[in-house]
Structure 1
Amino acid sequence: MALSLCRTTVDDSARELMEHGTAAFPIACYHDDLQAEPVPWHWHEELEVLVVSEGMILATAGGEKFRLEKGEGLFINAGVLHGDWPLNAGSCRLHSMVFHPRLVGGNPDSVFWQKYLQPLLTDPSRPCAVLRPTVDWQHEAIEDMERAFRAVVNEIPGYEFKTRAALSEMIFQLVSHAPAVQAMPKKALRNADRIKTMLQFIQEHYAEDISVEQVASSASISPSECLRCFHDMIGTTPNQYLRDQRAQRAAELLCGTGLRVTEIAMQCGFQDASYFARAFRQVYGCGPTEYRRKA
């Protein structure tokens, strides 16, 4: 199975649209160069585990932020909003596996699902777990992930069995030990639902002239609570997130269409061409015309 760059595309609720693997073997391996393209906010029904291969990254999941160095990793539970960004100026890379729980758990009536997968999937106190090689069980979990990763990428004989066995050992480590983060408080759980609702509103209305008040209203909260929720859950403001989404859509149109830059700006909600150029440069490090030329 080829190792792929992870091109994250999402729907209106920030749910990832990419299919990971196949129905018969629902797992895929990825590598990401975060200096070239950070992993944006998204969530999916699959489980994910990542390990930093170069540099230092800021990994965020379930309202928590983690500084991870080379050799350190993070397990991310199903349905948890997460993203990854570089923390140093040099090379900054990670590799990851995204897999459906049924690959390990099998049939929902099985002992594997009932005894191990179901408690993990339904425990709101386990949105994620840091994996550091200095902790014995976490070191073992990282080694399990790496064995599964190599088996899938290299397609060694019997790799399907070897992959499932390694991931089963990793899940057992996670279920058998308390996660390396504190239990997710009720407020964070409530905010996780609110942020998904507000991200969906922004995705649906990014081309319009929307306000913080409108974003807040979509989740039935006050503007001040909206600002706190964005700050706590994804470390930014509604306006900054809106700018980034508009710039991301503009980048897609610059690469995939022959529309004029001014037309793209208008379609993406930028009413002023000069502001569009400044905002786009803040996100991508270059102007729209230069970005199109490089693509």
Structure 2
Amino acid sequence: MVYVQLNVVENLSEIVEYDTPYLPIRTRQSKLSYFNNRSASCHWHIDLEFILILDGAMNYFVNGENYLLQKGEGIFVNSNRLHYGYSYKDEDCSFLVMLLNPSLLVRNPYIESKYIKPFLQDSNSDAIVFHEGIPWQSEALRFIHALYETCHHQEDGYELVALSQFDLLFLHLYRNTVAQHGFHTEHSKDITAIKKMLAFIQIHYGENISLQDISTVGAVCRSKCCRLFKVSLKKTPIDYLTHFRIQKSIELMTNNSLNITDVSIACGFNSSTYFAEVFKKIMGVSPTEYRQILSK
């Protein structure tokens, strides 16, 4: 099986492909089983993200916190927050995902400074989990469902409807967060450290990287480095490095001018034999077999 891969660049930001070139909105229905190891890549983007669980359950990491999402629940992820979803008890999960660029909300500088910037920068609004049993959150779920359906079906005039629905959804979130509890800007040093270490790996994965190299970039000791990776990514730093190298090798194998040895060297493996061994352990097939699947 060829897995879904997010288009994440060196600084961990995702290059988002919107539904149309005219409106920065993306809607998708997906499953965790479409991703390798039933886990998306850790990433961030400027867009506001909304997830609705259709069936099953999913763990969701946002800026150092882990949330369990059950069927019928949802989550909002604020702009520029480090996040990813991964399986709960190795089970599959079906979900809707919607990304909306905050530029859709900007009408004039006054609106932006009074409402939009405070909410986007509020450290208490990194993520919001929506439960059916809480009235304002239940209403938020209905807003999200309606907006998703509008954007997904794209009936004539849907753009104007989507803009008005997004305005109402944003206002609903603002009234139940910043308007009630104030604006907070405390940001975790641990998140800053993990972002720096992940970015370092994504830039230097083809080189000989040690645990000491990774921890030095984050300005933490090796034990704290390991602890941050375990809490955030459920992997050791070296495990994350290995999985990232395999992800990059998959991208390179679409280039038929590169043989397996070339791919293994470019991705930081000392030998093609070891690369093949690790690849099969993670992907379930050998690099040669995977390349044959790609060619079909």
Q: Counterpart amino acid of 2:104? A: L
Q: Counterpart amino acid of 2:274? A: Y
* Equivalent residues of 1:74, 1:129 under 8 A apart: yes
Q: Distance in 2 between matches of 1:115 and 1:6?
A: 39
Q: Distance in 2 between matches of 1:114 and 1:87?
A: 39
Q: Counterpart amino acid of 1:137? A: W
For the pair 1:9 / 2:10, whether they are aligned, the reply is no
Moved runs in structure 1, 4+ residues, more than 4 A? 21-24, 88-91, 183-186
- Report which stretch shifted further, 257-266 or 17-26: 17-26
- Report which stretch shifted further, 94-103 or 283-292: 283-292
Q: Distance in 1 between matches of 2:127 and 2:154?
A: 28
For the pair 1:276 / 2:275, whether they are aligned, the reply is yes
Partner in structure 1 of residue 243 of structure 2: 244
Partner in structure 2 of residue 78 of structure 1: 79
User: How far has the Cα of 1:225 moved from its partner?
Assistant: 2.1
Against the structure 1 CA distance between its residues 6 and 115, is the aligned structure 2 distance closer, same or farther, given a 3 Å change threshold? farther
Q: Distance in 2 between matches of 1:198 and 1:90?
A: 29
Partner in structure 1 of residue 255 of structure 2: 256
* Equivalent residues of 1:6, 1:30 under 8 A apart: no
* Equivalent residues of 1:30, 1:97 under 8 A apart: yes
Against the structure 1 CA distance between its residues 71 and 259, is the aligned structure 2 distance closer, same or farther, given a 3 Å change threshold? same
Partner in structure 1 of residue 199 of structure 2: 200
Task: Tell me the C-alpha RMSD between the 2 structures.
Answer: 2.5
Partner in structure 1 of residue 26 of structure 2: 28
User: How far has the Cα of 1:231 moved from its partner?
Assistant: 2.2
User: How far has the Cα of 1:207 moved from its partner?
Assistant: 0.9
Q: Secondary structure at the match of 1:208?
A: coil
Output the TM-score relative to the length of structure 1: 0.87
Partner in structure 1 of residue 44 of structure 2: 43
* Equivalent residues of 1:63, 1:234 under 8 A apart: no
Partner in structure 2 of residue 221 of structure 1: 220
Could you tell me which runs of 5 or more consecutive residues in structure 2 were left unpaired when the two chains were aligned.
Answer: none
Q: Distance in 2 between matches of 1:184 and 1:239?
A: 35
* Equivalent residues of 2:121, 2:185 under 8 A apart: no
Output the TM-score relative to the length of structure 2: 0.87
Q: Counterpart amino acid of 1:114? A: S
Against the structure 1 CA distance between its residues 273 and 184, is the aligned structure 2 distance closer, same or farther, given a 3 Å change threshold? farther
* Equivalent residues of 1:6, 1:32 under 8 A apart: no
**Length, aligned pairs only:** 285
Partner in structure 2 of residue 125 of structure 1: 124
User: How far has the Cα of 1:88 moved from its partner?
Assistant: 5.6
Identity over aligned pairs, percent: 29
For the pair 1:52 / 2:53, whether they are aligned, the reply is yes
